[in-house]
Amino acid sequence: MSDTFLDVDIAVIGAGSGGLSVAAGAAQLGASTVLIEQHLMGGDCLNTGCVPSKALLASAKAAYRWRSEAALGVDYALPDVDLGAVNRHVHEVIAAIAPNDSIERFEALGVKVIQGTARFVGPSEIEVDGTRIRARRIVVATGSRAAVPPIPGLDQVPHFTNETLFANTELPRHLIVIGGGPIGIEMAQAHRRLGSDVTVLEASRIMPKDDPELVSLLGSRLVDEGIAIREGVSITRVEDGRGGVTVLLRNSEGLEERIFGSHLLVAAGRRPNTERLDLEKAGIEYGPKGIIVDARLRTSNRRVFAIGDVAGGPQFTHVAGYHAGIVIRNALFRQPAKVDYRALPWVTYADPELAHVRLTEAEARAKHGDDLVVLRWPYHENDRAQTDRKTQGLIKAITTRSGKIVGASILGAEAGELIQLWVLAIGQGLNVKALAGMIAPYPTLGEISKRAAASFFTPKLFSSRTRKLVRFLSWFG
Ligand SMILES: Cc1cc2nc3c(=O)[nH]c(=O)nc-3n(C[C@H](O)[C@H](O)[C@H](O)COP(=O)(O)OP(=O)(O)OC[C@H]3O[C@@H](n4cnc5c(N)ncnc54)[C@H](O)[C@@H]3O)c2cc1C
Ligand SMILES: NC(=O)c1ccc[n+]([C@@H]2O[C@H](COP(=O)([O-])OP(=O)(O)OC[C@H]3O[C@@H](n4cnc5c(N)ncnc54)[C@H](O)[C@@H]3O)[C@@H](O)[C@H]2O)c1
């Protein structure tokens, strides 16, 4: 028998990036809203994901200044990294952002926040520690956690995941990272620059979702910084001992190897948080990738939506926030809004940054065949990149022969900022002509986008036909 009974318009399970956005929107639109969180307000992104990882990367970038900015005539001393102080910085950043996601802020918006683990007890009812909640609409936003691969011995060996890494206050002597996806690559570079030896062990190739040409340039840069990247390895066993961890693997040539490290980070993908929800009781279908949803983010139970990492699609904070808007439109405005990932960007915050939107070159070739133009512009051709000595990298944009932009990838300084122009252009279905004709302020890195776009017209503009035309017109005074 439950102690309390609540009857509300919307119940949201999980106060991470997705759940917080739905709850804030629903309450401000006048819907009675309950938000249930079993652990920390803000979820993964604030506490164990985006925020601490980017704060750690900021310290790492500072520690690298002696090398990256030596050419500017300013002599930075060799860094003396105190990981305890770095850790304090990381947690101060979390604390500075936390009020935005706090219980107090949400209650002030009119949301009833309940702390505890929610589970379904019926198609439109959930229970949290004796409180039963009936809701017209329920939104599952329970996120994901690190997937620990079934490597023999791994469960016996101490290892970090994103849940524990940011509590560490001692610099690893040699960090072995399992997984060369965005978490593995960002954390590998952060630790290398802070002073650790780092080895990345990747089963296939690093950053498999990004453009291989740009990934390969990033990979070379990471290797130059001293990170050992081992691709195509198969880890056969992990053992504890000798004050650290030993990883046994078969390398890409089929040879057995042992690698010894002081610490291990597992960054080998994510598992959706579906287990503790009793989804069967609400008739909600799910699989290993998460809760099954349609394009309107409805589950097999039409009163229940699933958003963010638990919904099995792209796993980013900006996607969880985008999902929240789709659910608000469906649940509160009764609009049949659907997700559309055609202009979905992502950025990996290595230095240099790697940013991408829509199709890679390979995907574009598969879709458009020969109806394709690949535009490239290197950073070293940009004056601002030269003044700031940030000349590594390039932009690669893909258009159809008629100039419709179908994809863009950028490797280089501020790539995460530069990609936004391309996100807008792709989202609005713009022709490359719009970017080529834009007046870009000088000297900015943004001119790289304009120059790449303008290069679409170079062959036509300087063709013999155009030159003949110009000569002809000059006869008329
Ligand atoms: C190291 C790392 C770095 C990242 N960096 C970036 C980045 O730079 N940019 C980016 O866009 N994305 C990044 N991500 C991904 C991003 O963190 C996630 O995509 C995002 O947090 C997903 O939001 P969510 O709302 O789906 O889930 P979460 O933020 O994980 O929130 C889910 C919440 O639900 C709660 N919960 C779970 N089950 C229950 C239950 N039964 N009852 C009550 N509460 C429950 C959890 O405690 C949690 O607070 C990163 C992830 C990691 C791990
Ligand atoms: N900057 C960002 O936006 C950012 C940063 C971090 C994380 N994220 C999000 O979090 C998600 C999870 O990140 P992730 O890096 O853990 O996962 P991921 O799935 O993107 O990459 C995991 C990598 O681990 C490899 N792997 C898996 N099992 C392995 C094994 N046994 N041995 C060796 N390699 C193995 C895979 O081949 C893959 O390349 C990302 O996909 C992304 O959506 C985003």
**One CATH from 3.50.50.60, 1.10.220.150, 3.40.50.720, 3.40.1190.20 for 4-41+102-146+271-331:** 3.50.50.60
β-bridge pairing 174-178 and 263-266? parallel
CA of 44 to the centre of ligand 1 (A): 4
Between 1 and 456, name the one with better pLDDT.
Answer: 456
Q: Which atom of ligand 1 is nearest to the CA of 187?
A: 1
Q: Which atom of ligand 1 is nearest to the CA of 128?
A: 42
Q: Which residues of 14-45 are buried (b: 16+ CB within 10 A; e: fewer)?
A: bbbbbbbbbbbbbbeeebbbbbbbbbebbbbb
Q: Which atom of ligand 2 is nearest to the CA of 309?
A: 43
Mean pLDDT of the chain: 96
Q: How far is CA 291 from the centre of its chain?
A: 20
pLDDT at 241: 79
Whole-angstrom Cα distance, residue 321 to residue 56?
Answer: 24
Alpha-carbon torsion (468, 470, 471, 473), positive or negative: positive
Q: Is the CB of 186 under 6 A from ligand 2?
A: yes
Mutational test site, ligand 1, from 316, 346, 349, max ligand atoms within 8 Å of CB? 316
Collect all residues with Cβ–Cβ distance below 8 Å to 474 and sequence separation of at least 6.
Answer: none
**What token pair was written down for 408?**
């863009």
Confidence of residue 463 (pLDDT cuts 50, 70, 90): confident
469-475, Cβ contacts within 8 angstroms, sequence gap of 24 or more:
none
CA of 346 to the centre of ligand 1 (A): 16
Q: Is the CB of 199 under 6 A from ligand 2?
A: no
125-133, Cβ contacts within 8 angstroms, sequence gap of 24 or more:
126/11, 126/13, 126/36, 127/2, 128/36, 130/2, 130/3, 130/4, 131/2, 131/3, 131/4, 131/5, 131/6, 132/2, 132/4, 132/5, 132/6, 133/5, 133/6, 133/7, 133/8, 133/11, 133/34, 133/36
Write the residue with the smallest CA distance to atom 41 of ligand 2. 315
Strand segments (E) across 66-155: 111-115, 118-122, 125-128, 131-140, 144-146
Domain assignments of the chain as residue spans, ordered by start: 4-41+102-146+271-331, 154-268, 345-461
Point out the ligand nearest to the CA of residue 319.
1
pLDDT at 15: 98
Q: Is the CB of 416 under 6 A from ligand 2?
A: no
Q: Is the CB of 183 under 6 A from ligand 2?
A: yes
Q: Is the CB of 184 under 6 A from ligand 2?
A: yes
Whole-angstrom Cα distance, residue 109 to residue 372?
Answer: 50
Determine if residue 179 is labeled as part of a ligand binding site: yes
pLDDT at 470: 81
Q: Which atom of ligand 2 is nearest to the CA of 204?
A: 37
Q: Is the CB of 201 under 6 A from ligand 2?
A: yes
Name the nearest CA neighbour of 141 among 314, 289, 321: 321
> In the beta sheet, which residues pair with residue 133?
6, 126
pLDDT at 395: 98
Query: Where does 69-144 have alpha helices with state H?
Result: 83-97, 103-108
Whole-angstrom Cα distance, residue 410 to residue 218?
Answer: 11
Mutational test site, ligand 2, from 44, 189, 201, 270, max ligand atoms within 8 Å of CB? 270
pLDDT digits (tens, 9 = 90+) for 66-110: 888 888 988 888 889 999 999 999 999 999 999 999 999 999 999
Write the residue with the smallest CA distance to atom 16 of ligand 2. 269
pLDDT at 2: 57
Write the residue with the smallest CA distance to atom 1 of ligand 2. 348
Tokens 């690559």, residue?
185
Strand segments (E) across 174-276: 174-178, 197-201, 227-230, 234-241, 244-250, 256-261, 263-266, 270-272
For residue 1, pLDDT beyond 80 = no
Name the superfamily (CATH) of residues 154-268.
Answer: FAD/NAD(P)-binding domain (3.50.50.60)
Determine if residue 399 is labeled as part of a ligand binding site: no
Write the residue with the smallest CA distance to atom 32 of ligand 2. 203
Kindly report the CATH class assigned to 345-461. Answer: alpha beta
Asked casually if ipTM beats, i.e. exceeds, 0.95, the reply is yes
Q: Is the CB of 235 under 6 A from ligand 2?
A: yes
The reply to whether domains 4-41+102-146+271-331 and 154-268 share a CATH topology is yes
Lowest mean pLDDT among 61-75, 95-109, 258-272, 390-404: 61-75
- Per DSSP, the residues of 280-340 read GGGT--EETTEE---TT-B-SSTTEEE-GGGGTS---HHHHHHHHHHHHHHHTS-------
Q: Is the CB of 361 under 6 A from ligand 1?
A: no
pLDDT at 68: 83
pLDDT digits (tens, 9 = 90+) for 323-343: 999 999 999 999 999 999 999
